[in-house]
Structure 1
Amino acid sequence: MSDDRFARTQLALLISIAFACAPSRAASDDTPAEVAAPVATVVVSAKSGDYLGNNTASAVAPTQASLTATEPQSIITRDFIELSVTPTTEYSRIVNVAPSVSGDSSNGPGLSETKTTMRGFSDDQYNITFDGIPWGDTNNPAHHSTSFFPGSTIGGAIVERGPGNADNLGYATFGGSINLYSKKPQKDQQFSVFGSAGTWNTALAGFSYESGRLPGFNNGTVQANFQHLKSDGYLSLNSIKSDNYLLKVRRAVGDATVITLFASANRIKYVQPDNSKGPTLAQVALHGKNYSLNNDPASFNYAGYNHTAKDTDFSYLRAETNWGSGWNTDNQLYSYAYDNETISSTDPTGATAPGTKVGPAGNKDIPGIDKRNKYRVYGDIFRLNKQFDAGVLRTGVWYEYSDTDRHQYDLDLTLGGVRDPRETKPAPVQNPSVLFDQQSTIHNLQPFAQFEWAVTPDLTVTPGVKYLRITRAVDADVNQTTRLPQHTSVDYHTTLPFLTANQQLSNSLAVYAQYAKGYQIPDLKSFYIADPTKNSSDPQKSVNYQLGVVGQSDALTWDVDVYKIDFTNKYVSNGLGGADAAYINVGGATYKGLEAQATWMVGNGFALYANGSKNKATANDTGKTISGSPDMTAALGLLYNAGPWSASLIGKRTGEVRQADYDPAKPLAYDTYLTKAYTNTDLSLAYRFTRPGMGIRMLKLQLNVFNLFNHQDVTSISPAKNVAYDQYTFQAPRSFQVSLKADF
């Protein structure tokens, strides 16, 4: 995104704010927009400032499940985020506290992208939604944790460990969903400024605005947020700078409809290599565990050769209408975009000798790439609900279209020659510097229906079904891998049934069960062959069996679940070349485990928190553990709140992980590439000043210490063809941030 385009986005947000605040017909104070809302909106944010305030386990729990749950879940509130999570955070750090979830940033908390795993499922095998809208990359449904929603914009999260019901949407219900929510509008006006400073020259500043209910705006609300972040980062010369703008407007229109407008824009700049998998052991011995870039123009690791700019936006218009007689509708029209423009050297490990294809003969210049991944997504989610005496019918349809532009060109970084071959669209023989120049699209249509049958006042059984039809198309003059023209499309379709049950045993105890099928859209790499129409049209699927029990009382909230997931139709290459190459469905894997979480109010302001999981993921063909799958997770925490003081001390442990799948031809690699369990312990201490002066209603001073015990264990290994060039990432060392927030 150009500077002009980003400036136009900012201007559009400001114009929207001005429009939203324009006067309208008055409404009485006792009929606010929230009262008129006909469709329940999930709220996971407690009232601001009341964290631990009412001394119940449900109020203080870092994670908990609902008594109405139909699959394993972890609800995380905004107040927990503000107290216990770094101000520089993004969603991965927020949800990391939940059982079976793991992931770590090697550049420091919130200062680089983090790929989270859930039950051993990788980042592209589960959904992430924001206010119910699924988002992710268009080549595969992976996510960029720092690119859309900084922590200051997230009102709460629900980690759903399962496909959900029929109305759970996304391209990877395969492994579950991380559901993020915007902040709930406040009833009263409030303006806040916030900032923090800490290790590695990290600094954050911003403001948020809550209009409260506006009588001249039909008791609607306006919310705005701005955040600026910059840091040098823990990794050498891996700096980051980002800005985020957000607007949310909510108001009633007439007596039966509530309209919500949401818009955000994010710009982020990194200095980092495109290959950010860490240093080799030889580089660690010479430069330390934080080695990444240097100031030597003769090196692949020169900071001046490695930089990325990402621009994103995300917006939706939502209309919730109550039509009477038990009928209501909820429609979300949305769009989001991602634009990654990267210049990078090709090999930070030192395995490749200097010399570029695009430089003069015999040159010793530094080879690099010009990389783009740019897409725009448009979609609509329509839901129609009907209340019957026997239960609630929920039906609807999800439509989405995406348009993607991806390319990668060879560069001579020493000469600074950034060329743009797209002007002539040359064939590979004419211009071998074009690795690929590819456009692709996705058309998605998914109707769904389910019925929440109230069998008895205490038993709800919900059958449902979802049908999906997805068309992927590639239009490339130079396709990736083959470097040949590719102009084709493939249809994928399947039907997914669901059945869940929830039995309320008492006001404080419930049990649930789930049978559900999930799926994952085939990766775009399945088009990197001569004839993709030979591929299988059946996407990867999962069959989930889950049982759980949830208990809640003033003193204790707890839940336990067991699960078994059969992963089928694994999408793999048939191993053939040329015209016979195709992607086919074979084998799969089995995931199973036990999970639990609990919070106990001890008394005198103290609460204890614990969670844990025992996870196993094995390939069906070998019986061996799948790479990237931790064998356990655990968390233990102490929480405190009394008067103006709040504190939390939480340690999260991630179990051992196989970093390579078992290969009978290389049996030693399976045991060699193994990372041991590691632990991060975070401390937070906050003090609230009430009306300290200068018009401030509340002033909060907070200290956060991350990785308190300064562990620097290996968190991942990326095997290379030559073991000398294997790459390692480590825990970022102990760091701190001091924060201040003033509410006016």
Structure 2
Amino acid sequence: MRFRNFRRNQLALSILAAMPVVAMAAPAQSTTQPKEAASASDTAKSASSPVYNVGVVSDRLSPLDTLGKLPSMKHIFDSTQSVKVIGKQELDTVGPGMGAGQALEQAPGVNVLNDGPSGAPRASISINGMKTGWGNIGGNANDGMVMVTFDGVPMIDPAYGVWQASEVPQISMFKGISVTYGPGYPVNRWYDNIGGSVNFMPLQPSAKPGVTIGGFVGSFDTQGANFSAQSGSIDGWSTVVAGGVGSSGNFVNGYGFNNPANNYAYYAKTTKTFNGGHLSFGAYTSHSVAYRPVPIPVSPNSNVTIYGVDPNTGNPIPGPVYSQSTTGYYTSLPKSTYWKRAFVNTTLIYSKFEDALTQDTHLHNMLFYRYGNRIHLHYNNLGQSPSVLYQYYNATSHTYGDKLYLSFALPYHNLVSVGGYFVNNQYYSLLDFYNPTQTVNVNGQTLYHSLSLPHHFHSSYLYETDLAAFVQDDFQPTDRFRITPGIRVVNFKSNFVNNAAAAFPINVQYAIGNNGDTQPNSETSFTEVEPSIGANWKITKKLALYANYATGYRSPAGATGTYAHFLVSTLKPQKSTQYQIGVKAYLPHDGYLRNALLSVNYYHLDDTNEIIPIPVVSHAYSLFASGSSTFDGVNLSFVDNPVYSLHLFANLSIERAVYSNYVSPSHGSYNGKPISNVPDHTVNAGVFDEFYREGVIYKPRLWWNYTGAQYIYNNNTGAPTTQKLPAFGLWNAGLKIVLGRQVGFAGMKSLSLRFDVTNLLGKKYNAYEYISGGGYYGIAGQLLAEPGAPRAYYASVEAHF
């Protein structure tokens, strides 16, 4: 009785919390009439059926659900969308000290540029040319177009719109990762899904108890530990706790400094299951901090030495000339010349509630809170203005929201979902550049510049409220045909507050500093309609054709930077329109194809109203270009276990990405130029085997990652180029050994030993190049590069109890 009362209270709170969403959903339902199809026609129940099956609605949602669970091969086959799951075996290709950035490379169309060899350094991630993350990447036209969630919970604050891979520095706590190409189903979308989405699915509470403890070591001073613990089911409650810590140096190092990094991440979730549904509470927190090496000149210039410049005069300090060809391919500058340290902190707290209200009606509710914090500290005397010698940057966000929807199993094999969400966000940004050796006269008094009296600065708030209401139908008129029409109505309301006068009253009053926020306080509100439709036709039980179309919007990108630099009257939501057509084959038992899934699709995406950041020489602020892009490509994904012990996977992506429109603020139009930092093709493939000998299981692995040629960006002109970074391919190998009865002591069930070698052949390559505008080293037109990781060795051990 107590729990029944609790369920009633939880249901009431869920409905009250989401009343604004329901109110918004009502007009959407009355003005549009798309319907949803059943996920499995043979389980459909009519409203008059006397059988009360509380699980039917949830089960039939499965092909549409990419947030609540990892989609199975059957669910992917049944879906009208393009979905890739990176499972546990593919995650085994990631070194034990690495994080989310490296893990995502095992999906088609994904290109990742990491600042270092572990999960703590920053990364820029591209999925079919749609990007997220930040690093040294200039001219990212399509940044923030990929939504990232943890157990279905948003990891991105709506104001900034960009996710950083170092928010997920540990991968041991995950069951897998699902990647959806394109906006996806309305029921699964949040506010940044216009190009795609990624959901990190952590370990879930299980019915049986168990404990795993592990540790790892490797190249570049990599070391760390991880654990997970399951309570098992106790009175219907079950809890999982997991986490890990790690540290490493960097393969780019030198002169006594190895650019160290460290991180931790912890996760807990408890679930209560009951007849018809479940209630869960979850929490996740992570901390990553890493020194980031500066890009290295490819060729020498006599004015660029390892000692930089005199921080007051800007003249080069004599010393060895710094470049890949003179001081070494992987050599960074001394810490006394340059260092930059980046902190990323994330905390999620959330609750999920699902219940079968009636035989044919299911309620879904999720309440969440996210805290995000990013700090940059640096010392830089490489050739910019002496006034930007030190940097302090601190961005903090608080986000909370509630998503509520109802699913109705209707006659004629329709499953209709109606609902929406409310998300509120506060984003604060503070930036200081200063040189503490320089002085300024204020009312006859000589003062030194400092954090409170900087040369360059900004301080601003952005308050954002995002609303969405949707109706979606999953309609399955026959066993072999599914159609999924849907529509969303979204509203983005932003309030920008220029806080410079309050944060730096002396600077503002006496005009002795440079305020980067040039625009006054402003507000915007945009309401847009997002139609979508998908279809899946099974030609046979094993072969299906599918197609989908969707439109997506996101709030004008860039948090306070966008509103601080643009006339508010010129701002528009970024818009994507995408369609896909493809074929899927699912062969669970067909000769040598014992559990095979093949997916091939063609996609076309138009991205408009882009705001493109252009770094400028002072290194203090950015200019912005405007543009629109077109992407065309083919993705192929294959996975199978042809014999009991063998596992194969292969992914191929071919892409053409161009600017249909690109206008630089100072250098004119570059329409028709290729989009920078998008490989023309990517390939990854692997073969895993397993054999048993004298009570020991051996699991050898061999895999290959290939990144095709990509066009580089010119910071000097603020525009794309036709100059290419060459393609590169990397072989990797590993061996996992599992001991069972040989280690049967202290309750241990098994012991796993793992050995991995990445970049097996020791290939030397640059993962990223661009033409400098002179911000680094003071020399415009230099080709600067970030080298890819050399050969590395890792060893790990896990004990299972």
With normalisation by structure 2, the TM-score equals 0.75
**Residues 661 and 584 of structure 1, relative CA distance in 2, 3 Å threshold:** closer
Q: How many residues align?
A: 649
Contact 2:170 2:264 in 1 (8 A): no
Separation in structure 1 between the aligned mates of residue 475 and residue 462 of structure 2, nearest angstrom? 42
Determine the structure 2 residue equivalent to 1:88.
97
Alignment RMSD: 3.2
CA distance in 1, matches of 2:757, 2:394: 37
Aligned counterpart, 2:730: 680
Cα distance, 1:162 vs. partner?
Answer: 1.2
1:657 aligns with 2:714: no
Residue 728 of structure 1 and its aligned partner are, at CA, apart by: 0.8
Q: Which residue does the alignment assign to 2:344?
A: 310
* Equivalent residue, structure 1, for 2:136: none
Q: Secondary structure at the match of 2:76?
A: coil
- Alignment counterpart, residue 116 of structure 1, candidates 111, 121, 125: 125
Shift of 1:572: 6.8
Determine the C-alpha separation between the residues in 2 that align with 1:686 and 1:625: 43
Q: Taking structure 1 as reference, are residues 600 and 151 closer, same or farther at Cα in structure 2, changes over 3 Å only?
A: closer
The residue that corresponds to 1:493 in the other structure is: 527
Say yes or no: does 1:396 pair with 2:419: yes
Range with greater deviation from structure 2 (503-512 or 462-471): 503-512
Q: Which amino acid in the other structure matches residue 799 of structure 2? A: A
Residue 210 of structure 2: aligned partner: 190
Q: Deviations over 1:55-110 (max 9, x none)?
A: xxx99xxxx982112122211223432x3222223222222111111113242143
Q: Does 1:733 align with 2:751?
A: no
> What is aligned with 2:581?
546
When structure 1 is superposed on structure 2, of 490-499 and 473-482 the one drifting more is: 473-482
Match for residue 469 of structure 2?
447
Query: Is 1:169 matched with 2:189?
Result: yes
Instruction: Quote the Cα distance in structure 1 between the aligned partners of 2:119 and 2:788.
Output: 13
Q: What is the SS of the residue equivalent to 1:630?
A: coil
* Map of 1:406 onto structure 2: 429
Alpha-carbon separation, structure 2, partners of 1:400 and 1:543 = 25
Distance change (3 Å), C-alpha of 1:676 and 1:232: same
> Which residue matches 1:580?
none
2: distance between equivalents of 1:337 and 1:163?
A: 25
Asked whether the 8 Å contact 1:106–1:234 carries over to 2, the reply is: no
Judge conservation of contact 2:744–2:750 (CA < 8 Å) in 1.
no
Distance 1:442 1:399 in 2: 11
**Residue in 2 that maps onto 1:246:** 267
Q: 1:465 to 1:129 in 2, by over 3 A?
A: same
Alignment of 1:720 onto 2:775 = no
Question: Hey, what does 2:679 align to over in structure 1?
Answer: 630
Q: Matched residues in 1 for 2:281 and 2:57: separation?
A: 16
Match of 1:66, SS?
helix
Q: Measure how far apart 1:549 and its partner are.
A: 2.7
Equivalences for residues 75-474 of structure 1 within 5 A: 75-81=85-91, 83-123=92-132, 124-148=144-168, 150-214=170-234, 218-236=235-253, 237-252=258-273, 255-272=275-292, 276-278=294-296, 281-282=299-300, 283=322, 284-296=324-336, 299=337, 301=338, 303=339, 306-346=340-380, 350-352=382-384, 355-356=386-387, 367-390=389-412, 391-412=414-435, 431=453, 433-474=455-496
Deviation at 1:315, TM superposition (A): 1.6
Separation in structure 2 between the aligned mates of residue 682 and residue 412 of structure 1, nearest angstrom: 46
Contact 1:493 1:539 in 2 (8 A): no
Indicate how the Cα distance of structure 1 residues 127 and 351 shifts in structure 2: closer, same or farther if over 3 A, else same.
same
Q: Report the Cα distance in structure 2 between the residues aligned to 1:44 and 1:680, rounded to whole angstroms.
A: 32
| 1:69 and 2:79 correspond | yes
Distance 1:406 1:76, change over 3 A: same
Change beyond 3 A, Cα 1:67–1:527: same
Amino acid at match of 2:82: P
The answer on whether the counterparts of 1:281 and 1:724 sit within 8 Å (CA) in structure 2 is no
| Inter-CA distance 186–414: structure 2 relative to 1 (3 Å threshold) | farther
Extract unaligned runs of 5+ from structure 2. 1-53, 133-143, 301-321, 440-449, 502-513, 614-622, 662-670, 774-778
Offset of residue 212 of structure 1: 1.4
CA distance in structure 1 between the aligned counterparts of 2:722 and 2:333, rounded to whole angstroms = 31
551-560 vs 481-490, greater mean Cα deviation: 481-490
- The Cα of 1:684 is off from its aligned counterpart by 1.8
Residue pair 1:394, 1:450 contacting (<8 A) in 2 also: yes
The one-letter amino acid paired with 1:627 is S
Which letter maps to 1:352? Q
Task: Write the letter of the residue equivalent to 1:709.
Answer: L
Deviation at 1:683, TM superposition (A): 1.4
**Cα deviations by residue, 1:525-562 (Å, 9 ceiling, x for unpaired):** 33123742x12444333233433333323313312111
Alpha-carbon separation, structure 2, partners of 1:36 and 1:87: 39
Contact 1:655 1:678 in 2 (8 A): yes
* Pair 414,72 (structure 1): closer, same or farther in 2 beyond 3 Å: farther
What secondary structure is seen at the aligned counterpart in 2 of 1:324? coil
Instruction: Tell me which residue corresponds to 1:689.
Output: 739
* Alignment equivalent of 2:564, drawn from 505, 520, 528: 528
Residue range with higher mean Cα deviation, 379-388 or 83-92: 83-92
CA contact (8 A) 1:499 1:514 kept: yes
TM-score normalised by L of structure 1: 0.81
Cα distance in 2 for partners of 1:86, 1:693 equals 27
- CA shift, 1:35, in A, is 11
Q: Give me the whole-angstrom Cα distance separating, in 1, the residues matched to 2:97 and 2:231.
A: 25
Runs (5+) with no aligned partner, structure 1: 1-32, 47-57, 358-366, 418-427, 574-582
What CA distance in whole angstroms lies between the structure 1 residues aligned with 2:533 and 2:58? Answer: 28
Q: Does 1:701 align with 2:749?
A: no
**In 2, Cα distance between equivalents of 1:227 and 1:413:** 39
SS in 1 for 2:113: coil
Q: Deviations over 1:596-649 (max 9, x none)?
A: 122344437334432211111112243332112111111222221223121221
Q: Is the 8 Å Cα contact of residues 134 and 169 (structure 1) preserved in structure 2? A: no
Counterparts of 2:525 and 2:563, CA distance in 1: 12
Report if aligned partners of 1:86, 1:110 keep a CA contact under 8 Å in 2. no
Contact 1:196–1:740 at 8 Å: present in 2 too?
Answer: yes
